[in-house]
Amino acid sequence: TISWIVYAEGVPHINNATEVSALPSEVKFSFSKMSEFIYTKSAAIAELKLKRLVDSPEQWKDLDMMKTVFWKNRTPISEYVSEHWKEDDFFGSQFLNGTNPNVIQRCATLPPNFPVTNEMVQPFLKDGSSLAMEMKKGNIFLCDYKRLEGVPTRVVNGKPLSLTAALCLFYKNPEDKLLPIAIQLEQQPSQQNPIFLPSDSEHDWLLAKIFVRNADFSEFQISYHLLGTHLLAEAFTMSTLRSLPIMHPLHKLLIPHFRYTLQINLLARKRLISPDGPLANVRTLNGLKELLKRAHSEITYSSLCLPENIVARGLESIPNFYYREDGLKLWNIINSFVRKMVELFYSSNSEVSRDSELQDWINEIFIHGFLGNNKSGIPKRFDKVEEVVKFITMIIFTVSAQHCALNMGQFDYGGWVPNNPLLLRKAPPTTKGRSSMNTILEVLPNISTTVNNMASTWLLSKRYTDTIPLGTYPDQHFDEAVPLQIIKQFQAELSYLSGSIIKRNATLTLPYNYLNPAEMENSVSI
């Protein structure tokens, strides 16, 4: 057996193995050869031919110099990013179509600490319109990074690195572009915390956007990727191993969706979020754990269910939002598959109520994954078939689709580091009109950090050679005709969706392929 241990206060419990060899044989898969390099930065640095630069404490002389390094390792999308990262409509589109579609929400009233006035932003709105009118029409959106406020960061040269709890306001214009129209870099409004506008000097505005991207990167990597997919997946895996016997039909249904998860999380804890790993080194391990704790206290069952998540954020109708469009289709396909399977296992609600192994399982998830937090809305027990269907849908969606949406584009959007800086070396500007290109180079990571940043995003978006795409079950846990037929139908629907995503991709300047089922794995495995 395997035991739960506490990883950090306020964070899902994890498994007690300290080495891959200690994992239960059922989930101890033999890694392919390449896996030895998983999360091993030195390997990535060698592969990207960055060795020469990795220890350089120097600042970049100009962005062209950075580009020559980046150029050798670009992908079509990261190349596009390196050319368009300064443009407002590209900047805006990333909060919907990039790797972190999780933060943005419709804004019906401004937060009281973000005193944007109509005078400030009217010039950027449609002629004759006003901020109030556009809010009423549902065309104003907000990213608020308040959760980052006061998260401890690493001290460099006697000063803690900054991690700005920024606010960014967006306008969906009549051409359906999403444009940033106001940015405040700290939560408390004051003279020293001006609201930046697109009409400010080019470098002031670009600098403000860089700080927003940095805040977004922290939330993305820690709250949504690490916590929202990897650590939750570990809790689901652990509960399944501990509470559902191998012959339990839900064990058979779920276990392929946990392939590699415990292994990869173990490696992540050793290599990525170790005290000197790239993810801890900006915020320190304490800062990282503090952010995990804050984010975890706000996770709800509803926020993990995409249809409810989209409605809660008011994003039902914003156009060209591919994460929503593909994600809802995938949710429905997974849901209909899970429903057929679960209805096969349980023919009545009372069978659900009476299944004590199932009750232990969900209770274990509630206690160890969600720390018994009643406010999370995570069920403590199941009394209806429907409740089981929804929960299993959420699990499979989270470990396959949601993880892929977040994981797969990391190098595309983060390989060009100015677009996704892991850290910034200077505090945010407190006045307007004082920045130049040199200020931007002083703020951006030094050569060593940049190169490490590129290597980390490269590692994180790597693919295995032995991937198992969503809906394929080579281990054949089921052998009866009916479940096999249900699986076949699931595969057919996934394949149809994949075809339509590929067709759409061909018509887009910037394809959105991160929810293409053919590219997606069954489990969190990288």
Ligand X SMILES: *[C@@H]1O[C@H](CO)[C@@H](O)[C@H](O)[C@H]1NC(C)=O
One-letter-per-residue 3-state SS of 463-506: CCCCCCECCCCCCCCCCCHHHHHHHHHHHHHHHHHHHHHHHHHC
Q: Which CB, 341 or 365, lies closer to ligand X?
A: 365
- φ, ψ (nearest 5 deg) of residue 443: -80, -40
Residue 393 beta carbon to ligand X: minimum distance, rounded to whole angstroms: 25
Q: 55 contacts which partner out of ligand X, Fe ion, none, CB within 5 to 8 A by kind? A: ligand X
Q: Does 448 bind ligand X (CB under 6 A)?
A: yes
- Binding piece for ligand X, criterion CB under 6 A, among 132-140, 195-203, 251-259, 504-512: 504-512
Binding site partner of 508, from ligand X, Fe ion, none, Cβ cut-off 5-8 A by kind: ligand X
Comparing CB distances to ligand X, the nearer of 46 and 344 is 46
446 binds ligand X (CB under 6 A): yes
- Tell which one of 65, 156, 482, 484 touches ligand X (CB under 6 A): 156
**Can residue 407 be called a binding residue for Fe ion (CB under 5 A)?**
yes
> Which of ligand X, Fe ion, none has residue 177 at its interface (CB below 5 to 8 Å by kind)?
ligand X
Which range in 88-96, 209-217, 228-236, 292-300 contacts ligand X by CB under 6 A? Answer: 88-96
Which structure tokens are listed for 496? 């149809």
174 interacts with ligand X by CB under 6 A: no
Q: How far apart are CA 258 and CA 365, in angstroms?
A: 15
For ligand X, how many residues bind (rule: CB under 6 A)?
Answer: 31
Whether the CB-CB separation of 208 and 167 falls below 8 Å is answered with no
Backbone φ and ψ for 151, nearest 5 degrees, come out as: -65, 125
b or e along 35-69 (b: 16 or more beta carbons within 10 Å of the residue's beta carbon)?
A: beebbbbebbbeebebeebbeeeeebeebeebeeb
Choice from 123, 275, 372, 499 touching ligand X (CB under 6 A): 372
- Which CB atom, from 97 or from 400, has the smaller least distance to Fe ion? 400
From CA 336, how far away is CA 5, in angstroms rounded? 35
Residues 44-63 that bind ligand X (CB under 6 A): 55, 57
DSSP letter (8 states) at residue 156: E
> Would you give the distance in Å from CA 14 to the centre of its chain?
20
* Nearest to ligand X of 234, 338 (CB atom): 234
Q: Is 128 left (phi over 0), alpha (psi -120 to 50) or beta?
A: left
* Strand blocks (E) in 394-468: none
Q: Of the two residues 153 and 402, which places its CB atom closer to Fe ion in the complex?
A: 402
CB distance 11 to 299 below 8 Å: no
Whether 230 has a binding-site annotation, put simply, is: yes
Answer with the entry of Fe ion, ligand X, none that 228 interacts with (C-beta below 5 to 8 A by kind): none
The piece of 89-97, 294-302, 407-415, 483-491 that touches Fe ion (CB under 5 A) is 407-415
Sequence-ordered list of residues with C-beta below 8 angstroms from that of 262, at least 6 positions apart, any chain = 15, 17, 23, 27, 234, 237, 238
- Nearest CA-CA partner of 275 in 293, 260, 289, 265: 289
CA dihedral 182, 187, 190, 192 (to 10 degrees): -80
Q: Which of residues 324-363 bind ligand X (CB under 6 A)?
A: none
Q: Which of 6, 9, 22, 192 binds ligand X (CB under 6 A)?
A: 22
Q: Is 96 in the site for ligand X (CB under 6 A)?
A: yes
Interaction of residue 93 with ligand X, rule CB under 6 A: yes
Contact segment (CB under 5 A) with Fe ion among 14-22, 382-390, 402-410, 481-489 equals 402-410
Measured from the CB of residue 92, what is the shortest distance to ligand X in angstroms? 6
- Cβ neighbors of 274 (< 8 A, separation 6 or more) are 280, 285
Question: Choosing among Fe ion, ligand X, none, which partner's interface includes residue 22 (Cβ < 5 to 8 Å by kind)?
Answer: ligand X
**Quick one: what does residue 407 bind among Fe ion, ligand X, none, with the CB cut-off 5 to 8 Å set by partner type?**
Fe ion
H or E segment to which residue 169 belongs: strand 167-172
Cα 411 → chain centroid: 13
Window 386-445: residues binding ligand X (CB under 6 A): 425
Distance CA 415, CA 48 (A): 11
- The amino acid occupying position 440 is I
| 526 among annotated binding-site residues | yes
* Residue 336: CB minimum distance to ligand X, A: 26
Closest approach of Cβ 199 to Fe ion, in Å?
39
| Residue the block writes with tokens 């139908």 | 489
What residues between 261 and 280 interact with Fe ion by CB under 5 A? none
Q: Binding residues for Fe ion, per CB under 5 A?
A: 407
Binding residues: 225, 230, 403, 526
Binding residues for Fe cation: 225, 230, 403, 526
Q: Binding residues for ligand X, per CB under 6 A?
A: 1-3, 16-18, 22, 55, 57, 92-93, 96-97, 156, 176-178, 320, 372, 374, 425, 446, 448-449, 505-506, 508-511, 513
